Amino acid sequence: MKKIPLKILPAFFLSLALFGCKNAPKEIRTEHMKHSFQEAYKSEAPDSVAAEFDVEYIVEGFNKEALDSMNTAICSFLCGSRQYSDLSGAVPSLCAKLAENYRKGVEELQKDLDQEAIANQRSYGAYNWTYDYEGKVGKVFDGILPYKFTVTSYEGGMHGYSGDYCILLSSDSGKIIKEEDFFVDGYKDRLGSMILSSIKDSGRLEDLFNHDSVESNGNFYVESGEITYIYNPYEIAPYASGKIEVKLPWKTVEPILRDEFKPGETK
């Protein structure tokens, strides 16, 4: 994408989190990496792609191997590559991808727009793309550290888009815990039924594209009392229905949890 300067604004602060479970650290320390990015489509035109980043990462509270693994996972989740273990490399890499996609998108859009207006360098709202990335470290629960990204974007369509994306990290190894690691073999149908039942109980069944079944999507968050599945717009319901969060109490999902992830189990 372009070279309107990518500004890295180091704004760091201390965040303490106290935990009561067996193997959790007494406290963790995090910092925030804040970046601003903007690149014009043409030097003589006002249109541009812009992005804001506020991404929290971990600096203390776990062994070095786990810390490195956690931050590599955060970078990988953000930019789609395990090449980076530091946000100072991952964020510029993502900005380059955003700029490339923006340029291709505007060039495609121009094929359908008024050529006279293009020649006169008139600006269109659809020529201005924006992104906002926010990453937050959650609280350790029974050896699991949840992490959530909220991504808001506008890419020239009728409206913008916002979604939440979660990963679970092992507090011992720092590695990502995937859905298939978390649940027993053959869990899919039972978990889908639990999710559908919860949606029915919340009164949102009519929002769904399919009223008869829902599949788990691997996008879930853990807390002391429950597991929360997040379905972003268009996944199982129209855009107008917004984000659908499905909360499942631990006692509900316990029959399909692997033993090592059952609350209170010795890790």
**Each residue of 236-246: pLDDT tens digit?**
999 999 999 99
Ordered by where they begin, the domains of the chain are: 1-177 (3.30.565.40), 178-267 (3.90.640.20)
- Whose tokens are 């300067």? That residue is 5
- Whose tokens are 């939440």? That residue is 164
Q: What is the pLDDT along the chain (267 residues), one digit of tens a residue?
A: 333 333 333 333 233 333 334 444 558 999 999 999 999 987 766 789 999 999 999 999 999 999 999 999 999 999 988 889 899 999 999 999 999 999 998 888 777 666 655 565 555 667 899 999 999 999 999 999 999 999 999 998 789 999 999 999 999 999 999 999 999 999 999 999 999 999 999 999 999 999 999 999 999 999 988 999 999 999 999 999 999 999 999 999 999 999 999 987 544
d(CA 134, CA 148): 8
Q: Around Cβ 63, how many Cβ atoms within 10 Å?
A: 13
What per-residue confidence (pLDDT) applies to 120?
Answer: 58
CA 42 to chain centroid, in Å, comes to 31
CB 91 within 8 A of CB 171: no
Burial of 84: CB neighbours in 10 Å, binned 0-12, 13-18, 19+: buried
d(CA 126, CA 134): 23
What per-residue confidence (pLDDT) applies to 119?
Answer: 60
- Extract the tokens encoding 79: 């930019």
Dihedral sign computed on CA atoms, order 22, 26, 31, 32: positive
CB 94 within 8 A of CB 87: no
What per-residue confidence (pLDDT) applies to 161?
Answer: 96
CB 40 within 8 A of CB 189: no
- Extract the tokens encoding 54: 């506020």
Q: Around Cβ 166, how many Cβ atoms within 10 Å?
A: 18
CA 56 to chain centroid, in Å, comes to 12
What per-residue confidence (pLDDT) applies to 122?
Answer: 57
What per-residue confidence (pLDDT) applies to 108?
Answer: 83
- Extract the tokens encoding 15: 């965040």
What per-residue confidence (pLDDT) applies to 10?
Answer: 35
CB 55 within 8 A of CB 74: yes
d(CA 45, CA 59): 41
d(CA 46, CA 41): 8
- Angle subtended at Cα 136 by Cα 131 and Cα 140, rounded to the nearest 5 degrees: 160
What per-residue confidence (pLDDT) applies to 157?
Answer: 79
